[in-house]
Structure 1
Amino acid sequence: MSQAQALNPLTIPLYGKGLIEASAGTGKTYTISGLYLRLLLGRGISTPLTCQQILVVTFTNAATEELRDRIRNRIRATYQAFLGLECKDDFINQLLTETPESEKKIALKRLDLALKSLDESSIFTIHGFCQRILTDMAFESSLLFETEFTLDDSEYMHHAVRDYWRQHCYTLTPEMAQVIQNEFSDPDTLIKQLRPLLNSFDNTPLVNPSEFCELATKLTQSLSQFKTRWPSEHNAALKQLMELPLSGVRFGKKPDGYPKLVQMFDRLNNWAKYGVGFPPKKDMEILALSNIKLNKGGELPHPKQAKLLAHIERINELTIQIKPAFLFQALTDIRERFTQQKIQKNVLTPDDLLTQLSQAIVNNSDTLPQQINQRFPVALIDEFQDTDPLQFNIFSSIYQHTDQTGLLMIGDPKQAIYAFRGADIHTYIDARNQTDDRYFLATNWRSTTKMVEGVNGLFKQSADPFINSAIPFEEVNTPSSAASKIIQDSENNPSALRIKLLSEEPEKGLNKTTARKILAEDAAEEIVRLLNESEADQCTISASANSNEPLKAKDIAILVRDRNEAAVIKQSLVDRNVGSVFLSRDSVLNCHEAHELAIILRSFADPKNERLLRSALATKLFGFTALQINQFNNDETLRQQLLEQCFDLHNIWLKRGIMPALLNFAKNSRLIERLLNDDDGGRRLTDFRHLSEILQQKSTEIDGISALLAWYEQQLVNSNNNDDQQLRLESEQNLVQIVTIHKSKGLEYPVCFVPFVSLARDNRRRPSPMIYHEDGKLTWDIEQTDEGWEKQKRETLAEDLRLLYVALTRPVYRCYLSIANHSRFTKRSGLSSQLFETAIGYLLGIDSKDCEFAKLKKQASTLKSDAINISTIDAEAFSETSFTPKNQSATEFTTKELNRTITTPWRVGSYSGLVRHLSHDRIHPGADDEGFSLSEVFSESQNKQEPIDPFTKQDRFNFEKGANAGSFMHLVLEMIDFTNAKADLETHLPTAMLQYGIDELWTTPLMEWYLDLLGAPLNPEGLCLYKLSNSAKLVEMEFYLPIKKLKASQVNKTLQDFGYGDNLVFDDLIGMLKGFIDLTFEFNGKYYIADYKSNHLGDDFECYSIRNMSQAILDHRYDLQYILYTLALHRYLKPRIADYSYDEHIGGCYYLFLRGMSANQPKSGIYYDKPPFALINRLDELFMGKTESNQDLRA
Structure 2
Amino acid sequence: MRGTIYYSRPDILDAIPKDRHTVIEASAGTGKTFTIEHLFIELLLTQKVNIDNLLVLTYTERAAGELRSRIRTMIEKVLATEPVLQNPGGRCWKIGIQEKVHLERALFSFDMAPIHTIHSFFQRVVNEHAFNSGRLFEQSLVDGKSAFREAFLETLRKELSCDEAYAPYLDAWLAGGRTLDALHDALYACHARKRAILPSFDETALLRAFEDLARIVQMQGLPERLQADGKANKIHGNTVKALVARLERFSELLDGAGRKFNLCDLVVGCDSEWTQYTLDKCPAGRSWSEPVRAYIEALGQVRRHYVTIRGIVAQRFLPVVQRRLDAMKRTAGLYDYDDMIDHLLEALEGNQRDALISALRSRYRYALIDESQDTDERQWRIFEHIFVRSGGRNILYLVGDPKQAIYGFRGADVFTYLSARNTLCAHQAPVRLVSNYRSTATLINAFNEIFGQAGDAPFFRGRITYDNHLACGKPEFRVVDRSGRDIAPVVLWELGSDVEKVHTPYYLNVLGRAIAVEIRNLIAGGIADLKPNDIFILTRKESEGRRVAAFLREAGLPFAFYKLNGLFQTPQAEHIRDLLLAVEHPFDESRRFRAWMTPFFGVPIDQLLSCKGLPESDPLVKRLLDWHVLARRRNFPELFSSIIHESGLVRRIIFFEESERELTDYLHILEMLLEEAGTGGKELADLNQMLSDCIEGVREPAREDGTIQRLETDKEAIQIMTMHKSKGLEASVVFLYGGYGAAPSNDFQLYHEESGRAVIHIDGMAEHKQSAQEERDDEDRRLLYVATTRAKARLYLPYIPPEKYSKTVGMYRLLNDRLDAMVRDRASLERKGMVMRTPPFAASGTSGNENITDVCARVQFSADEHNEQREAERFAALREQHAGFEVTSYSRMKRVSEGHAGPEGDEDAIFDDRVAEGGRKTSPLDTPSGPRFGKALHAVMEQIRFQELVEAKGDSETWKLSGRARFLAERALACEGVGGEHADYLLTLVYNALMSSIVLADGSRIPGIVMADEVASEVEFLYPFPEEGMPGIAESHWQEITIGRGFVKGFIDLAFTWNGKVHFCDWKTDILPDYSPEKLSGHFALHYDLQSKLYLMALCKLLRISTETAYQERIGSIVYCFVRGMHPDAGQSGVLVSRPAWSELLTFEQKLIRGTMLEGALS
Q: State the TM-score, normalizing by the size of structure 2.
A: 0.61
Per-residue Cα deviation, 1:273-331 (whole angstroms, up to 9, x for no partner): xxxxx999999979989999xxxxxxxxx9999xxxxx999999999722210121122
Shift of 1:753: 1.3
Q: Which of 814, 825, 830 in structure 2 is aligned with 1:839?
A: 814
1:31 aligns with 2:35: yes
- The Cα shift of 1:684 comes to 2.8
Q: Which residue of 2 aligns with 1:80?
A: 80
| Residue in structure 1 matched with residue 838 of structure 2 by the alignment | 872
Would the aligned equivalents of 2:748 and 2:761 in 1 still touch at CA under 8 Å?
no
SS in 2 for 1:743: coil
* Deviating more after overlay: 576-585 vs 797-806: 576-585
Relative to structure 1, the CA distance from residue 420 to residue 879 in structure 2 (aligned partners, 3 Å threshold; closer, same or farther) is closer
Match of 1:60 in 2: 60
Q: What is the CA–CA distance in structure 2 between the aligned matches of 1:174 and 1:688, rounded to whole Å? A: 45
| Residue identity in the other structure for 1:713 | S
Deviations 1:561-585 (CA, angstroms, capped at 9, x unpaired): 2321110111111101111111126
Question: Superposition pairs for residues 198-237 of structure 1, below 5 Å?
Answer: 198-199=191-192, 201=194, 203-211=195-203
Percent same amino acid among aligned pairs?
Answer: 24
Distance in 2, matches of 1:320 and 1:779, equals 15
Q: 1:303 to 1:600 in 2, by over 3 A?
A: farther
In structure 2, the residue matched to 1:632 is 608
Q: Is 1:557–2:536 an aligned residue pair?
A: yes
Task: Give the structure 2 partner of residue 1128 of structure 1.
Answer: none
Give the Å deviation of 1:832: 3.5
Aligned to 1:129: 121
Which among 421, 436, 440 is matched to residue 444 of structure 1? 436
Alignment match of 1:412 (pick from 391, 396, 401): 401
Bigger Cα displacement from structure 2, 585-594 vs 313-322: 313-322
Q: Unaligned stretches of 5+ in structure 1?
A: 1-5, 230-244, 252-277, 293-301, 306-310, 542-549, 826-830, 847-855, 884-946, 948-975, 977-988, 1004-1195
Q: Is the 8 A contact 1:160 1:338 kept in 2?
A: yes
Name the structure 1 match of 2:322.
335
Asked whether the 8 Å contact 1:515–1:822 carries over to 2, the reply is no
**Distance (whole Å) between structure 2 residues aligned to residue 582 and residue 1002 of structure 1:** 48
Is the aligned partner of 1:478 residue 2:493? no
SS of alignment partner, residue 180 of structure 1: helix
Matches within 5 A, 1:898-917: none
Q: How do 1:361-510 and structure 2 match up within 5 A?
A: 361-362=348-349, 363-400=351-388, 401-435=390-424, 436-437=427-428, 438-460=430-452, 464-479=458-473, 481-489=474-482, 492=485, 494-503=487-496, 506-507=499-500, 509-510=501-502
Asked if 1:745 is matched to 2:749, the reply is no
Partners in 2 of 1:785 and 1:871 — Cα distance?
43
Is 1:354 matched with 2:335?
Answer: no
Task: Give the 3 Å change call, closer, same or farther, for CA 177–364 of structure 1 in structure 2.
Answer: closer
Is the CA contact 1:451–1:497 (under 8 Å) kept in the aligned structure 2? yes
Q: Secondary structure, in 3 states, of the residue corresponding to 1:482?
A: coil
**Distance in 2 of aligned mates of 1:761 and 1:680:** 34
Q: Aligned match of 1:717 in 690, 698, 709?
A: 698
CA distance in 2, matches of 1:359, 1:501: 55
Deviations 1:370-420 (A, max 9, x none): 321221111111111111111112112212335443211111111111112
User: Residue 807 of structure 1: SS of its match in structure 2?
Assistant: helix
Q: Distance in 2 between matches of 1:676 and 1:754?
A: 32
Counterpart contact for 1:494–1:866, Cα < 8 Å: no
Distance change in 2, residues 1:812/1:317 (3 Å) = closer
Say if 1:502 and 1:818, in contact at 8 Å, map to a contact too.
yes
Structure 1 residue 859, shift from structure 2 partner: 7.8
Select 2:91's aligned residue among 72, 91, 94: 94
SS at match of 1:779: strand
Q: Which residue of 1 aligns with 2:1101?
A: none
Tell me if structure 2 keeps the 8 A contact 1:588–1:726. yes
Match of 1:819 among 799, 806, 810: 799
Contact 1:554 1:736 in 2 (8 A): yes
2:632 aligned residue: 654
- Contact preservation (8 Å) 1:808, 1:815: yes
Q: Does 1:190 align with 2:183?
A: yes
After superposition, the C-alpha distances for 1:968-992 in whole angstroms (9 at most, x for unaligned) are: xxxxxxxx9xxxxxxxxxxxx9989
SS in 1 for 2:106: helix
Contact 1:495 1:866 in 2 (8 A): no
Alignment match of 2:519 (pick from 524, 527, 537): 527
Q: How much has 1:443 moved relative to structure 2? A: 0.8
Residue matched to 2:148: 157
How far 1:647 sits from its partner (Å)? 5.0
**Structure 1 residue 649: deviation in Å?**
3.9
- Structure 1 pair 174–133 and aligned structure 2 pair: CA distance change class (3 A): closer
Question: C-alpha distance in 2, partners of 1:1001/1:589?
Answer: 35
Mapped contact 1:822–1:835 kept (Cα < 8 A): no
Aligned with 1:792 (options 764, 772, 778): 772
Taking the aligned partners of 2:660 and 2:414, their CA distance within structure 1 comes to 38
Match of 1:736 among 718, 723, 743: 718
Give the secondary structure class of the aligned counterpart of 2:13. coil
CA distance in 2, matches of 1:510, 1:112: 63
2:148 touches 2:188 (CA, 8 Å); kept in 1?
no
Q: 1:289 to 1:557 in 2, by over 3 A?
A: closer
* Amino acid of the structure 2 residue aligned with 1:157: F
Aligned residue identity for 1:27: G
Equivalent residues of 2:583, 2:625 under 8 A apart:
yes
Q: Quick one: distance in 2 between partners of 1:841 and 1:14?
A: 43
Q: Which residue of 1 aligns with 2:950?
A: none
**TM-superposed deviation, 1:115:** 2.2
Partner of 2:733, secondary structure, is strand
* Contact 2:29/2:437, CA 8 A, preserved across alignment: yes
CA contact (8 A) 2:536 2:731 kept: yes
1 CA distance for matches of 2:801 and 2:91?
53
Q: Is residue 552 of structure 2 the alignment partner of residue 576 of structure 1?
A: no
CA contact (8 A) 1:495 1:869 kept: yes
Q: CA deviation at 1:858?
A: 3.6
- Cα distance change, pair 786–585 in 1 and its aligned pair in 2 (3 A): farther
Deviation of the 1:676 alpha carbon? 5.4
**CA distance, structure 1, for counterparts of residue 549 and residue 609 of structure 2:** 37
The one-letter amino acid of 1:193's match is A
Query: Following TM superposition, by how much is the alpha carbon of 1:150 offset from its aligned partner in structure 2, in angstroms?
Result: 1.2
Q: Is the 8 A contact 1:379 1:406 kept in 2?
A: yes
Change (3 A) 1:840 1:109: same
Q: Relative to 1, partners in 2 of residues 1:215 and 1:652: Cα closer, same or farther, differing over 3 Å?
A: farther
SS in 1 for 2:762: coil
Structure 1 pair 558/136, CA: closer, same or farther in 2 (3 Å)?
same
2: distance between equivalents of 1:78 and 1:416? 34
Q: What is the CA–CA distance in structure 1 between the aligned matches of 2:1050 and 2:329, rounded to whole Å? A: 56
Amino acid at match of 1:815: L
Alignment of 1:961-1040 (within 5 A): none
**One-letter code of the match for 2:339?**
D
Q: CA deviation at 1:433?
A: 0.7
- Determine the C-alpha separation between the residues in 2 that align with 1:428 and 1:990: 68
Distance 1:869 1:184, change over 3 A: farther
Where in structure 2 are the equivalents of 1:610-689 lying within 5 Å?
610-612=589-591, 627-628=605-606, 631-632=607-608, 636-637=612-613, 646-658=624-636, 660-666=638-644, 670-672=648-650, 675=653, 681-689=659-667
**Counterpart Cα distance in 1 of 2:128 and 2:612:** 63
**SS of residue paired to 1:839:** helix
How far residue 182 of structure 1 moved from its aligned partner, in angstroms, is 7.7
- Deviation of residue 12 (structure 1)? 2.4
* Residue aligned with 2:313, SS: helix
